Structures are given as structure tokens and as C-alpha cells.
A and B are shown apart, each in its own frame.
Chain A
Amino acid sequence: MGLIFQTIFCLLTILSFGIFAQKILRIRRSILLGKATHLNHHPGQRWRNVILLALGQKKMFQKPIVAVLHLIVYIGFIIINIELLEIIVDGIFGTHRVFSESMGGFYTFLINTFEILALLVTIACVIFLIRRNSIKLKRFISKDLEGWPRSDANYILIFEILLMSLFLLMNAADHELSFIISKNFTPWLTSNFDEEQLLLVEKTAWWLHIIGIYAFMNYLPYSKHLHIVLAFPNAYYAPLIPSGTLHNMPDIQNEVLYAMQPELAPSNAAAPESFGAKEATELSWKNLMDAYSCSECGRCTDACPANSTGKLLSPRKIMMATRDRIETISKNIEANKVFIPDGKTLLHDYITVEELRACTTCNACVTECPISISPLDIIIELRRSLVMEQSNAPQEWNSMFSNIENNFAPWKFSPDDRDAWTKA
């Protein structure tokens, strides 16, 4: 009998990790559909960002209460998963709490710590559930989250509560042992169940707990919860320059240079394929990693001056639309080996001109994001495509462009009057 369970456990473990690895590689492939960008310089500063922003969750602490709750869930979840080591060893070898004897008192200390954290995680998740669904917080009732994203957020919280409860139930049913939180439930269990039933409760909780963890792991790639993995590389690759700086376009820089100084132009200069991005694959891989990292918290949209005055733009939606689009492209490639045009593009079909036009490039969204995502970067790339590839600009902007070209100022003033203020 034991051997059957061990075999099932081993198969389940291999299958779960196998599928998870496959999904992570798939996301990596999707991200690498983006254009190359080189973000490896200054590794010291980048590791500092990983420690401060991802590990230390520095920006979360602008809202201290939420930050503490979030930190509990995050640390709790990571630390409790150390227990997974024992669960896996037990599962493979059919042992029962394999480390308990060799570790002695330290084992009790560890499990006690895990239990306290499990209780705190449960409480924090319950608070988060209530906050998300009962308190009408603008960024949570927003229409950005209609449908799947709203359910996703709730599923994650319910899932975590279930996992923590199963862990505590498993310990409580193990009535020969006594741990700080679960011991309080043991008397109730022993008075209602006999020895055999208790064993069944413990085993069932054990199995559901580990199956739950494997399921959760494999749910991550579909969820906003992927940020627990991607926040780390995203912080590493965060831009290190002042946020007001836009990416240079060397192709255009050279084209202007060769127009002004033709003697510098190489004879074999190839014309660039396209300018800016109308499709997700024309964004950089960092933009796409941003999209997969987004936890849809909405701090960006909350701070966006356009959004808060009723314009269509929502930086969070920009990130969600980008992820949706690159997922669709990935699936298309998987089904057809190469991308078969589906008559849609990121620009227009997923993100509209009206949204792009509302941005004031104020950097509030970029500053707010706890994990260094830049919706602004995507907005600018799409604007570039709109203006330079499709000549799609409002009339007032076209006038502004021609004024700059002819009068060297965005307004129609004579350049000869530029120093008129000195005479007035």
C-alpha cells in the first residue's frame, strides 16, 4: 500500500515540476519575442535594486499597513515552503516527519514558527479578501479588472487560505505532537474522531496540502501572481537612468546625421524596418517582461492624472493588454510554427489611439510601480509608430511639428523674435 502512495507521489511531483518548468520556459520564449535591449551594465546597482525593491519591497512601504500585510503573506509563504522539503522526502520514502527526530527541539521551534506565520498569512489573506471585495477601493472596483482578473485575485487569496488551513489541520491531527497553533484544535479533533479517523484526517490534509501547492505552482504562469517570481528579474533590469529620459533611436539619429553630413554615410546603410511599435513583438523584451510581471495592483492607474480626470487611459490596462497580446501571439506561434497574421495588432485592437493621446508623460505610473514596470515606455513606442509609421497625429500636433520645423518653436512665431524679450 505504502509503495503505491510513494509511486503516486513521485509521479505527481515529477509531473508538477515538469509542467511548471515547461510553462516557465514558454513564458521566457514569449518574453524573448521582444526586441533586444542591453541591460547588463552596472550589476552592483542592479543587485541593489533587487534587494531594495524586490526583496525589501521598498516602494510598497509608501502604504505601510498594506505593506506589512503583503510582507507577511510573502515571507510567510516563502518560509513555510521550507516545510515542503520534509513533505517531499516523506512522500518519496514513505517516512513520517523525517526530520523530527534528528532535529529534536529545533524541529518544534521551526514548525512553531511556520504555524505562527501560517496563522498570520491566513489573517492577512482574509483582510485582503474583505478589502478587495467589500471596501470600494477605486483601483479594485475599476473596470480594468472586469472578468478574469478580478476572479484571479480572489482565487489566489482563497487558495492561500486553504493551503495554510490544510497545513494547520495536518499538524493538529498529528495528536502525538504538539505545536503552538495547531494544538488548540487537537482536543476538538480527538474528542470527535477515533485514532483511525484521525490518521485519515492527517493523511488527507497532507495530500491535499501538497497537491494544492503543486496546483498553485502551475497556476502561477496564468496569473497576476507571477509577480512573486518575476519581480526579481524585473527589479534587476530596471532602468538606472533618470526616469525623464526616453530611449534613443539610433537609426533615426544616424539618418539625420547622414542627411546633414552625407560624407559620413556608409555606402551600405540599410534602412530600418520600422519605427516604434505597433505590435507587441516590436516592443523590447523588458517591456514584455514588465507585462508578465504586473500584479495588476493599479497603483499606476490611481496616480495617473489622465485616468483620475476621467480619460480612457489606464496604465495598468496598458500592461494587461500587452500581456494579453503577447500571449495570443505565443499561442498562434505554437499552433502554426510561425506567426500567422490574425488581422490584429497591439496598437488599435488592444490599445486605442485615444488612450495613447491622453498621456502627459508625467512619470507618475513609473514612479508608483513597486516592481519597476514602465507603462510609459510602451505608450511612447506606440506613439512613435502612430506618428512616424501611420502619420496619425491630431491636427494640432501636426501644426506643432511644422512650427518646430519652420520656426524652431512649437508656436508660429518668427525665429527672429526669439530674443525680442530683451528689448521689450
Chain B
Amino acid sequence: MKVSTMAEMMASGEQPEILFWVGCAGSFDQRAQKITKAFATILNKAGVKYAILGKEEACTGDPARRAGNEFMFQMMAYQNIQILNGYNIKKIVTTCPHCFNTLKNEYPELGGNYDVIHHTQFLQELIEQGKIKFTDSNEWKGKSITYHDSCYLGRANEIYEAPRKVLESLDMELKEMKRCKSKGLCCGAGGAQMFKEEEKGDKRINTERAEETRATATDFVASACPFCNTMLSDGLKVAENQNDPAVLDIAEIIAQAIK
């Protein structure tokens, strides 16, 4: 897959309209790489001129900051802002709500001011502008789906509609879980929990959420965050129920329907 880096674009005197911030999960995690590729495919097909930072990208510092390690966060923020400002980046799209929140809300105070959007918002824009066209045999049509709100997209940034609008554009039947939108239950990964064992309790948080997704009895579960995706997939795996819904990122769903 041909994806230009900022360095390559600079070398040929070009400037992309948007930087795709891939994030650590999207870069390294095998499951999340599929989401990254799906989104890159969409960008290619929609004719968006974009670039990635490639090897120059580094962790935004989100998990370190939330674990309490502000030094580490500030180190990462400093490096990233140097690079982003060096390339004169104006607009960023990312498939990770944690990167999204940090870049959009926490970097400005440190000198990094960019127009940051989440990939579900960008997908909604592209669909509305007619830049994404679906194949005639829309295999998603009529399939039931439930959308799991990511905390850092939902409560933290009040983005509830964009991901739902994207799913509706495929004529999917959207069923809500009992706890959704501002009441949505966390998948259990945030606040650097992804990188440690859960504290002791009666139940794992992702098991609880997986049961709620199962209770909606839909064909699919849509996520918009690579960490939620992993947590929900793992949560569903525990019971090994063959009828369980598959967990897919919204980008993966669109990538399979795009013309």
C-alpha cells in the first residue's frame, strides 16, 4: 500500500491537505493495523491527499499523562509538536480517540495548534460531500449494528452523532445499547488501564460491556477506537458464543462498502 510520509512530500515540494495521525495501536497492534489500512484505503479511494509521519510519529503521551507521569507526557508532546510545527501541519485526522483528545485539547497549551478531527467525523464529511460512494450491492444494508461510544470521543469531546450518521448512511439498522452516548459504559482501557491488569473486583469491565453488546442481539458491534475494539473483542471471546457479533471499526465497515 502506497502511503506517503511527510518527509517524502516535503522532498517533492508538496503539502498534503491532511495529516493522518496513525497512533501507536494503529501502527503496531495487529488488529488495529487492519483499521489503519481500511482507513488509508478509504482516503485513497476518496482521492484525499494525505500523508503520515511514518517513523517520525511518536506516542502522544496520553497513557503516561493519565497514569500520572507528566514528565513523560511533556517529553512526548515537545517532540511531536516540534515535528508537527516543523512540517507546518494545519489539519490532522486520527483513528484513535485518545490521540484525538490529546492533540486537540492538550497540545494547544503547549504550542501545538492544529485543526484535529476524528476519522468518524472525516468519514461523515466525505460521505456528505459525495467523495465516498458505496457499491451498488451494499451488503451492509439492513444488517443490525450497535455502536459503542468511546469515552474520549463521547463524554470527553461530545462527539456522538458523526459515527452514528456514518452507519446510517449505509442503511444499517442501528440499535442502541441501554447505556449509550453520555451514559455509555467504558470498555475498561482508558486511563492507562490498557497497559496493566485490572484492579481486583467482581468482574472485568470489558466483560460487562461485552454482555451489554450481546444483549442488543445485533449482527455487528461498531467501535471507533482501537482500544475499545480490542477490549470488546476480548470480552466477547470469553464466552465463545458462536452467535456473538463481530466487532468492527467504522472505517472497516466503510472500506468494505466503498466503490
Contact = CB atoms under 8 A, between A and B. Distances in A.
Interface string A220-259: 0000000000000000000001111110110011011100
Given A309-B201, A410-B195, A387 B158 contact: no
Interface string A388-424: 1000011011011100110011110101111111111
A397 B52 contact: no
A411 B78 contact: no
B33 interface: yes
A367 to B, nearest CB: 5
Contacts of B192: 397, 400
Given A394-B196, A409-B59, A360 B188 contact: yes
B146 to A, nearest CB: 18
B58 A256 contact: no
A348 to B, nearest CB: 15
Contacts, number: 206
A249 B70 contact: yes
A95 B177 CA distance: 63
Contact of B24 (A362, A396, A410): A410
Contact of A256 (B36, B75, B198): B75
A360 B186 contact: yes
Given A305-B188, A360-B191, A387-B68, A400 B199 contact: no
A243 B57 CA distance: 26
A284 to B, nearest CB: 16
A387 B182 CA distance: 30
A401 B156 contact: no
Contact of A361 (B59, B105, B110, B191): B191
Contacts of B27: 409, 413, 417-421
A170 to B, nearest CB: 45
B29 to A, nearest CB: 8
B106 interface: yes
A397 B155 contact: no
B57 A404 contact: no
Given A256-B75, A364-B186, A401-B69, A417 B28 contact: yes
Interface in B187-240: 188-205, 207-208
Contacts of A253: 74, 110
Given A243-B155, A396-B197, A360 B54 contact: no
Interface string B167-188: 0000000000000001101101
Contacts of A397: 67, 69, 192, 195-196
B126 interface: no
Nearest to A250: B109
B43 interface: no
Contact of B28 (A303, A306, A413): A413
Contacts of A248: 106, 109-110
A397 B58 CA distance: 18
A382 B102 CA distance: 20
Interface in A102-156: none
Q: How large is the interface on A (under 10, 10 to 19, 20 to 34, 35 or more residues)?
A: 35 or more
Interface stretch (A5-13, A32-40, A334-342, A351-359): A351-359
Interface string B148-163: 0001100111100000
Contacts of B74: 249, 252-253, 255-256
Question: Among A308, A367, A388, A421, which residue has the most Cβ atoms of chain B within 10 A?
Answer: A421
Given A260-B78, A363-B151, A422-B3, A306 B205 contact: yes
Contacts of A419: 3, 5, 27, 52, 54-55
Interface string B46-79: 0000001011011101011111111110111010
B101 interface: yes
B173 to A, nearest CB: 26
B131 interface: no
A422 B2 CA distance: 7
Contacts of A399: 195
A380 interface: yes
Interface in A360-374: 360-364, 366-367
B37 interface: yes
B190 A360 contact: yes
A27 to B, nearest CB: 30
A358 B199 contact: yes
Interface string B13-36: 000000000101011110001001
Given A396-B196, A397-B67, A401-B72, 13 more contacts: A246-B66, A246-B106, A248-B106, A306-B205, A311-B201, A364-B151, A366-B155, A380-B66, A409-B28, A410-B194, A418-B57, A420-B27, A421-B27
14 contacts: A242-B104, A248-B110, A249-B74, A309-B202, A309-B204, A310-B201, A387-B69, A393-B68, A396-B195, A400-B64, A401-B72, A418-B28, A418-B54, A421-B26
Interface of B: 1-3, 5, 22, 24, 26-29, 33, 36-37, 40, 52, 54-55, 57-59, 61, 63-72, 74-76, 78, 101, 104-106, 109-110, 151-152, 155-158, 182-183, 185-186, 188-205, 207-208
Interface of A: 241-246, 248-249, 252-253, 255-257, 260, 275-276, 303, 305-306, 308-313, 354, 357-364, 366-367, 380, 383-388, 393-394, 396-397, 399-401, 404-405, 408-411, 413, 415-424
